[in-house]
Amino acid sequence: MLSLILRRLGIGLITVLAVSIIIFFGTKILPGDAAQIRLGQEATEANVAAMRERLGLDQPVPMQYLNWLGDFMTGDLGTSLASDVPIVNLISDRYKNTVIVSALTALIAVPVSLLLGIMAAMFPGSIYDRILTFVSVSLVAAPEFFTATLLVLIFVFALGWGNAVVVGSIEGKGFFELIAHFALPVTTLGFVIASQLIRMSRAAVLNVMNSPYIEMAILKGVPKKRIIFRHALLNAIGPIVNVIALNLAYLVTGVIVVEIYFGYPGLATLIVQAVQTRDFVLIQGLGMIFCLTYVILMLIADIAAFASNPRLRHPK
C-alpha cells in the first residue's frame, strides 16, 4: 500500500512538472515582453535591456524555466507585471476568499447530495428516484450563469433576500448577515456540484447493490438501512471519493463564471484580470496553484480509495 501511495505521489509530481512546462512555455510564446510591459511604452531601450537583465530574461529559455521553477518551489512567484506587487500577496487574499466559498459549498452540498443519491439508490425506480433524477439532470444541463440569474431573480428581486453582489469584508458581520453574504454564490455552486454527486453516488451504490453479497445480506434478514450504510456504502467509497475530489477541485479552480457573476473577489476574478492586463507572471503563478490544488485533491482521493479497500490495506 505504501508503495502504491508513493507511486501516486510520483505520478502527481510528474503531472505538476509537466503542467509547469506547459504553463511556462505556453506563456512564453505569447506576444509581448515582460520587461517592456513592466516599464511601459515610453521606456528607453537601455532601460528595457537593464530590466531584462534584472528579470533574467537575457538568459536562455531553459535556464529561465529552471530559475522560475526554483523560485516557485521556494514560494517566490515573482512580481506582477501590471501592479508591481509580489504575486504571493495578490494571490493569498484571493485564495482565502475562494477557499471560504468552496469550503462552505462543499460542507453543505457534499453530505446533502450523498444522502440524496444514496436514498435514490435505496428505492430505484420510485417516484422519489425519478423526481431526483429529473431535477439533477436538469441542473447539470443548466449553465451556472442561468442558475445564478434565476436565483437572483427569485431571491433578491422577488423576495428581497440575500445579496446580488458579494463584496466587502466578512469581518465584523453577524451570523445572519454572513448567510445573506454567501447564500447565493454558495447555492449556485452547490447546485452545480450536487447534481453530479447525486448521480454518481446513486450509480456507485446501485452498482454495489446488484452484487451477490447484498443479496446474501437480504437473505440473512439484514434491515435495508444497514444493508445500505454498512454493506453497500463501504464498497462504493472508492468511486464516490473520486467524484467528491473532482468536484472540490472544480470549486477551487473552475468557479470563474460564478465569481464573476457575483463580483466575488476570488481567484477566478483575479485570473480574468491577469488575462486582460496580459500579466503572464500572474497567469503562471495562478496556473501552478490551480494545478497543485487539483493534484493534491486527487492524491487525497486516491489514498482514501486505497484505504477503503481491504485488499490493499491487508494484503494476503
Partner 1 sequence: MPKDSRTQDVIFEARDLHISARREDGAEVPIVKGVNFTVRRGEVVALIGESGSGKTTISLAALGYTKPGLEFTGGQALLLGEDVTGKTTDQLRPVRGESVAYLAQSAAATFNPSIKINEQVTEAPVLHGTKTQGEANEKALALYRALELPNPESIGARYPHQVSGGQLQRLMAAMALCGDPDLLVLDEPTTALDVTTQIEVLKAFKRVIKEEGAAAIYVTHDLAVVAQIADHIVVLYNGEVKEAGPTDVIINRPRHPYTKRLMAAIQPLPEPGQGNIALDEHLRDDPAIEVRDVDAGYGMGVGGQPAVKILRDINIKIERGQTMGIIGESGCGKSTLARVIAGLLPACEGELLLDGQPLPPALADRTRDQLRRVQFVYQMADTALNPRQYIRYILGRPVEFYTGLRGKKRRKRVEELLELVELPASFADRFPHELSGGQKQRVNLARALAAEPEVVLCDEVTSALDTIVGANVIDLLTRLQKETGVSFVFISHDLSTVASFADEIVVLYAGRVAEQGPTDMVLAAPHHPYTRLLISSVPEPRMGWLEEAAQTRAARSGIAGGVEMTEVGCPFFERCPLAIPGTCDKVDPPRLDDGHGHVIECHRELSELE
Smallest CA-to-CA distance from 69 within 114, 23, 5 is with 23
Cell of 224: 435495508
Q: Evaluate the CA torsion angle 159, 156, 128, 230 in order and state its sign.
A: negative
CB atoms inside a 10 Å sphere around CB 117: 28
The verdict on 123 binding partner 1 (CB under 8 A) reads: no
DSSP-assigned letters across all residues of 88-110: HHHHHHHHHHHHHHHHHHHHHHH
Instruction: Report the alpha-carbon distance of residue 119 to residue 287 in Å, rounded.
Output: 38
The verdict on 211 binding partner 1 (CB under 8 A) reads: yes
Single residue of 13, 22, 216, 272 touching partner 1 by CB under 8 A: 216
Single residue of 82, 140, 222, 256 touching partner 1 by CB under 8 A: 222
The verdict on 304 binding partner 1 (CB under 8 A) reads: no
Q: At closest approach, how far in Å is the CB of 223 from partner 1?
A: 7
The verdict on 96 binding partner 1 (CB under 8 A) reads: no
The verdict on 207 binding partner 1 (CB under 8 A) reads: no
DSSP 253: H
Stretch that binds partner 1, among 112-120, 146-154, 169-177, 208-216 (CB under 8 A): 208-216
Which residues have C-beta within 8 Å of that of residue 1, sequence separation ≥ 6?
306, 312, 313, 315
The verdict on 314 binding partner 1 (CB under 8 A) reads: yes
Stretch that binds partner 1, among 55-63, 143-151, 159-167, 305-313 (CB under 8 A): 305-313
Residues that bind partner 1 (CB under 8 A): 211-213, 215-224, 226, 230-231, 234-235, 308-311, 314, 316
